[in-house]
């Protein structure tokens, strides 16, 4: 079974309280989502493989470690975009692939409407990013999309997850570790995470 890591940090807790608050406006919401993405990046990348290189300092030659593989960040559109910049602050060389997915509000089934990935995807460490892991349908489809293009080393980064979605991904993709800022209580009858933060895409982009 894959690993579930709920990243525990006072700054993440503090920013989550801003994100969850329904009175928080678009600008502050977007800023806090990005900042949590950045704080999580440190933990998510902890076990990335490194390789040794030789470096000449102003004093002498020494051996240093650098990332062994490229990193590709794959936000699930739209809401995933909200965490990308924060992660890129720590990994500025990361390439970005995009996958467009929306949930049918009646059936909760995901529908893919866009996909574009860098050619390095198969040999890269892939970080799929989406603030919300609810039923897990969108993430399952996104993982299948990158796997079908050759990706093998895949992690998921989210803000808030529901136990239902976590279980589904762990069952279907035991090779994909899950990193969340919070594991919430449940889904409600219309598939929203409780207590959650509402519709993340709408709150990020001011569409409601």
Residues at the contact surface with ligand URA, assessed by CB under 6 A:
132, 134, 192-193, 196, 199-201
> CA 202 to CA 170: how far, in whole Å?
28
Does residue 199 carry a catalytic annotation? yes
175 is catalytic: no
Query: Is residue 30 annotated as part of the catalytic site, yes or no?
Result: no
Q: Are 63 and 54 in contact (CB under 8 A)?
A: yes
- Rounded Cα distance between 47 and 2, Å, is 14
Interface residue list for ligand PRP (CB under 6 A): 76-79, 101-103, 108, 110, 130, 132-139, 165, 191, 199-201
Residues 101 and 92: beta-carbon distance below 8 Å: no
Q: Which is nearer to ligand PRP, 101 or 180 (CB)?
A: 101
Strand partners, 63: 54
Residue among 81 and 134 whose Cβ is closer to ligand URA: 134
DSSP 156: E
Degrees to nearest 5, angle at CA 4 with 10 and 195: 60
Identity of the residue, 67 or 172, whose beta carbon is nearer to ligand PRP in the bound complex: 172
Partner from ligand URA, ligand PRP, none contacting 102, C-beta within 5 to 8 A by type: ligand PRP
Residue 75 contact, options ligand URA, ligand PRP, none, Cβ 5-8 Å cut-off depending on partner type: none
């Amino acid at each position: 079974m894959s690993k579930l890591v709920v990243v525990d940090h006072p700054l993440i807790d503090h920013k989550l309280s801003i994100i969850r608050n329904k009175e928080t406006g678009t600008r502050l919401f977007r800023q806090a989502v990005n900042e949590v993405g950045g704080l999580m990046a440190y933990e998510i990348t902890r076990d990335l493989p490194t390789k040794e290189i030789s470096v000449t300092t102003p004093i002498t030659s020494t051996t240093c470690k650098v990332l062994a593989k490229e990193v590709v960040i794959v936000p699930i559109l739209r809401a995933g975009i909200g965490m990308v910049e924060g992660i890129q602050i720590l990994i500025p060389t990361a390439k970005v692939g995009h996958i467009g997915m929306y949930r049918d509000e009646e059936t909760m089934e995901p529908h893919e409407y866009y996909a574009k990935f860098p050619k390095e995807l198969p040999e890269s460490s892939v970080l799929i990013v989406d603030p919300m892991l609810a039923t897990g349908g969108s993430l399952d489809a996104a993982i299948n999309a990158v796997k079908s293009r050759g990706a093998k080393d895949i992690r998921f980064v989210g803000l808030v997850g529901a136990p239902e979605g976590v279980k589904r991904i762990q069952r279907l993709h035991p090779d994909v570790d899950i990193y969340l800022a919070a594991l919430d209580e449940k889904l409600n009858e219309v598939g929203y995470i409780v207590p959650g933060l509402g519709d993340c895409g709408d709150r990020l982009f001011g569409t409601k």
